[in-house]
């Protein structure tokens, strides 16, 4: 265990606890059990040593030492007032499985951080960030500076996710493969992953605001992190809307293809029905067959088949059941349905707010009448004096 105690001129202190014990979460099950036993034997006294040297936070150390899940708690502690403590999971690299727990204990003038991965304290204690801690007037303000530093990996992950999502939209627009639905679902799971990492941080922000009130909300670091939270919120909502749009487009294309196949098969079956019936009749062993004894009976049969087939096709065309229906009649309807599913609600509101053509013409006429009145009033000559009249 490595313990660093950092005191700042503004009156708050930061205790950095680097654990030697590492919870093995990404190992195979057999290796996990054996390595877990070895780790417990090797570092069995580390937790009790921490509890002995920090008796005021011993309960938090005992509950957070082996925790690998999110947990945020607010409670009142004697001699410290309101305290927020718990564990949040932080992604440390581009790999979505590279996640480490970050344990924290926060009061108004004291911050304790406990972690197993050495990359977390190295990032937080970077020389570029030390002046920020010197300017902080309380431990909660400094804690949210650290949260902003740890969110950099989330920002990088969202930027890479945006690139993959844009490539997916381009593939759907140009090639429109049948296996794109699997890629859309994969992007959806990635977005859920980043949302699960971000929501506990939002929960910490809400509990800290409730616990420390104006001490936190009036600080510059909290106001700065609020703008960052709003940006991440808008990005997550926007990405979710884009994925929903892609799913709607894929559903619409699948339905269109299914209807196209069924329509084609139906038309092909109906058109081929006359020749099928004549072939079945002529292939039977009946004594009397139409045009059997005629010299041009075969040609008469072909003519009858062509006439009946043309008549059936004319009926289908007249009812709009051929390919013209997809190009003219229902094109506008399908586009309107797709626009309702695809267009953003904000765009629909903007379209709905536009005045109708009649109202705009009325306004233009009223403006024209008003301008004519103004010009006539300007061109009027002054009245003659009373003496001249």
Q: Map residue 210 onto helix, strand or coil.
A: helix
Query: What's residue 266's pLDDT?
Result: 79
230-245 pLDDT tens trace: 999 999 999 999 999 9
Task: Tell me which of 136 and 43 has the higher pLDDT.
Answer: 136
Are 250 and 338 a contacting pair, CB within 8 Å?
no
Query: What's residue 28's pLDDT?
Result: 41
Q: Across 35-49, 266-280, 315-329, which has the greatest mean pLDDT?
A: 266-280
Q: Is the pLDDT of residue 49 over 60?
A: yes
Label residue 322 by pLDDT band (50, 70, 90).
low
- Measure the CA dihedral 330/333/339/345, to 10°: -170
Query: What's residue 377's pLDDT?
Result: 43
Label residue 325 by pLDDT band (50, 70, 90).
very low
Query: What's residue 348's pLDDT?
Result: 43
Percentage of residues of the chain with pLDDT beyond 70: 71
Query: What's residue 235's pLDDT?
Result: 94
Query: What's residue 241's pLDDT?
Result: 94
Question: Alpha carbon of 331 to those of 167, 246, 335, 337: distances in Å?
Answer: 28, 20, 6, 10
Label residue 344 by pLDDT band (50, 70, 90).
very low
173-231 pLDDT tens trace: 877 666 788 889 999 999 999 999 999 999 999 999 999 998 898 998 899 999 999 99
Label residue 282 by pLDDT band (50, 70, 90).
low
Cα 340 to Cα 334: distance, rounded to the nearest angstrom: 10
Query: What's residue 290's pLDDT?
Result: 65
Task: Tell me which of 366 and 351 has the higher pLDDT.
Answer: 366
Query: What's residue 142's pLDDT?
Result: 94
Cα 149 to Cα 153: distance, rounded to the nearest angstrom: 8
Query: What's residue 215's pLDDT?
Result: 86
Q: Across 23-37, 133-147, 281-295, 322-336, which has the greatest mean pLDDT?
A: 133-147
Query: What's residue 186's pLDDT?
Result: 92
Query: What's residue 272's pLDDT?
Result: 80
Whether the model pTM is above 0.85: no
Backbone angles phi, psi at 286, to 5 degrees: -70, 150
Q: Map residue 325 onto helix, strand or coil.
A: helix
Query: What's residue 125's pLDDT?
Result: 92
Are 116 and 103 a contacting pair, CB within 8 Å?
no
Query: What's residue 311's pLDDT?
Result: 83
Query: What's residue 323's pLDDT?
Result: 59
Residues 6+ apart with CB under 8 A from 341: 245, 248, 252
Q: Which range is least confidently modeled, 48-52, 106-110, 383-387?
A: 383-387
Tokens representing 54 are: 């920090």
Residue with tokens 């937790």: 47
Label residue 305 by pLDDT band (50, 70, 90).
confident
Task: Tell me which of 363 and 15 has the higher pLDDT.
Answer: 15
- Mean pLDDT, residues 353-363 taken together: 45
134-169 pLDDT tens trace: 999 999 999 999 999 999 999 999 999 999 999 988
Question: Please, what is the average pLDDT of the chain?
Answer: 78
Tokens representing 320 are: 């709009």
Delimit the domains of the chain by residue range: 2-250, 251-354
Q: Which of 153, 150, 133, 130 is nearest to 142 (CA)?
A: 133
Tokens representing 360 are: 């705009």
């Amino acid at each position: 265990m490595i313990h660093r105690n950092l005191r700042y001129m503004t009156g708050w202190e930061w205790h950095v606890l680097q654990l030697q014990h590492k919870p093995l979460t990404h190992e195979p099950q057999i290796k996990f059990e054996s390595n877990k036993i070895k780790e417990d034997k090797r570092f069995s006294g580390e937790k009790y040593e921490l509890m002995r040297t920090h008796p005021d936070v011993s309960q938090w150390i005992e509950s957070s030492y082996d925790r690998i899940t999110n947990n945020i708690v607010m409670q009142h502690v004697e001699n410290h007032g309101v305290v927020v403590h718990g564990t949040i999971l932080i992604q440390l690299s581009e790999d979505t499985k590279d996640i480490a727990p970050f344990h924290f204990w926060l009061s108004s003038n004291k911050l304790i951080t406990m972690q197993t991965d050495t990359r977390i304290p190295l990032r937080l204690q970077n020389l570029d960030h030390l002046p920020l801690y010197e300017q902080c007037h309380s431990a909660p303000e400094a804690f949210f500076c650290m949260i902003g530093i740890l969110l950099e990996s989330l920002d990088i992950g969202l930027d890479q996710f945006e690139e993959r999502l844009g490539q997916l939209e381009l593939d759907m627009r140009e090639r429109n493969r049948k296996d794109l639905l699997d890629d859309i679902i994969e992007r959806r799971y990635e977005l859920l992953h980043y949302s699960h990492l971000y929501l506990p941080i939002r929960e910490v922000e809400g509990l800290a605001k409730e616990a420390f009130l104006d001490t936190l909300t009036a600080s510059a670091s909290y106001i700065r992190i609020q703008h960052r939270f709003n940006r991440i919120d808008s990005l997550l909502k926007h990405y979710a809307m884009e994925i929903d749009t892609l799913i709607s487009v894929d559903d619409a294309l699948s339905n269109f293809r299914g209807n196209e196949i069924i329509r084609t098969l139906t038309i092909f079956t109906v058109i081929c029905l006359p020749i099928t019936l004549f072939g079945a009749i002529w292939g039977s062993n009946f004594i009397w067959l139409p045009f059997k004894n005629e010299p041009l009976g075969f040609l008469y049969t072909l003519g009858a088949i062509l006439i009946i087939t043309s008549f059936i096709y004319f009926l289908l065309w007249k009812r709009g059941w051929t390919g013209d229906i997809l190009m003219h009649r229902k094109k506008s309807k399908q586009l309107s349905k797709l626009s309702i599913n695809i267009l953003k609600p904000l765009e629909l509101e903007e379209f709905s707010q536009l005045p109708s053509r009649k109202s705009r013409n009325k306004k233009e006429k009223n403006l024209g009448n008003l301008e004519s009145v103004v010009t006539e009033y300007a061109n009027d000559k002054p009245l003659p004096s009373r003496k001249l009249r």
